[in-house]
Amino acid sequence: MALRPLGRRGYAAGALALATALTLTACGSDTGSGTGTTSAGASASAAGGAKLVQPGKLTVCTNIPYEPFQFKDASGKIVGFDVDIVDLAAKKLGVTQNIVDIDFAVIKSGAAMAANKCDVAAAGMTITDERKQNIDFSEPYFDATQALLAKKGTGAASLEDVKAKGLKLGAQASTTGLDYVKKQGFDPTEYADSAKELLALQAGQADVIVQDLPVVLTWLKKPEVAAKFEMIGSLDTGEQYGIGLKKGADPTLLKTINEEIAKAKQDGTYEKIYVKWFGKKPGELG
């Protein structure tokens, strides 16, 4: 996902988004963090004035694993920075958070929310003009950038070096990182999610991969990754993540999310969550 969000993680819009919406049930698995899951067309209910697709729950579409933003811990529970941020709004509304794991392409196209698969999307998703055509976004909640992770000994320190040395580049499909390197003249191998992208690097299918900086830094905390791979450069793409909502979003829900993000930044809660997942304060990453 540092997508985005240029960062992480568009199908164009319109007809394609609608077609995707009609086939949502075949696009990914549902993993509820609470009890039960959400189905398209679920009846709406109110929570603090907000209309939700499932009574008593704020249903959130995401794409895992995308550590440290959202991933399964040792117990199988979905946790992460995005989970904690959305929880602020869920608690304010007096509901529990229910997480649906689904393909990122379906999230970023807006189809997931359009089909009432979920109320919001929190998936390390960068705010872009293209995505705004199909999704309403909250105020930015995370400043992101991209990084290059390579096997040790390549001698590369930039995208220019990757090209000059003829190194094999990989990127996660449907992400802004992919879009960025394509604009730089690359034709990288695409991988369905961040886990497959890392596996490709470890298997030698790629010499270098592009991914959001926080994700790369999290990978490098793992001894087996740090022993053989290194970050060779960062790409200051100036991206920001936002919580995605259905186009023409319920105003109460959008207002609640924005207010809780702003409040958390003012009262120190945001910094605590940030340090919890990144080990550094806002502005200190990279």
CATH code, domain carrying 206: 3.40.190.10
Do 67 and 218 meet the contact criterion of CB atoms below 8 Å apart?
A: yes
Q: Work out the end-to-end distance of the chain between its first and last CA atoms, rounded to an integer number of angstroms.
A: 16
Do 209 and 96 meet the contact criterion of CB atoms below 8 Å apart?
A: no
38 and 85 co-located in one domain:
yes
* Per-residue pLDDT tens digits for 145-177: 899 999 999 999 999 999 999 999 999 998 989
Query: What proportion of the chain, given as a percentage, has pLDDT over 90?
Result: 78
116 and 73 co-located in one domain:
yes
Q: Is the dihedral of CA 129, 258, 35, 54 positive or negative?
A: negative
69 and 208 co-located in one domain:
no
Place of tokens 């055509």: 133
Does residue 285 fall inside a structural domain? no
45 and 136 co-located in one domain:
yes
Whole-model pTM: value is: 0.77
116 and 175 co-located in one domain:
no
Confidence (pLDDT) at 286: 65
Q: Assess whether pLDDT exceeds 60 at residue 93.
A: yes
Does residue 5 fall inside a structural domain? no
- Give the range of the structural domain holding residue 193, as residue numbers without chain letter: 145-238
Number of domains comprising the chain: 2
134 and 58 co-located in one domain:
yes
Does residue 284 fall inside a structural domain? no
Distance CA 233, CA 263 (A): 34
Does residue 1 fall inside a structural domain? no
36 and 19 co-located in one domain:
yes
